[in-house]
Amino acid sequence: MARLRLEDIDWVQERIAVVRTKQHCSQRYPLTHEVGSTIVRYLQEARPHCRRREVFLTLKAPFRPLSAGAPYHVTRSRFDHLGIHTSHFGPHALRHACACHLLAEGLSLEAISDHLGHRSLSSTRHYAKVDLAGLREVARFDLGGLL
């Protein structure tokens, strides 16, 4: 998201395009009203006024796009400020929380893999081990004497 550009936001179709740097491709997501409103507020009230096309810029001149490490530092700082203690920090913690939430909502690993932009389902499988409720349900499954 650090490299999000103004033209990546389609206000008419209510879509946002996220460039996946590892896969060198773009993935489109719905632009919810809440996210759209937050972006508009940021653009109007916080983003420096300049000709740059990147959405997120440094706040001091010379204005430039955020560094690749900036999302980690911003997220980590916010976690510290809010007193959130977790084994993962930065944007990866948010991705992990998102995947766990989607899994708890009943989405398939394939759907979660697509949402996260993983090339391989094996990259997503480690989220299954945290679905304790799902694992308990599988453990209670009656095989009807098949074994």
C-alpha closest to that of 20 among 123, 99, 96, 115: 115
Q: What is the pLDDT of residues 59-84, one digit of tens each?
A: 999 999 999 889 888 888 888 888 88
- Domain coordinates in residue numbering, the chain: 1-68, 85-147
C-alpha closest to that of 95 among 40, 41, 20, 33: 20
Q: What is the pLDDT of residues 99-126, one digit of tens each?
A: 888 888 888 888 888 888 887 887 787 7
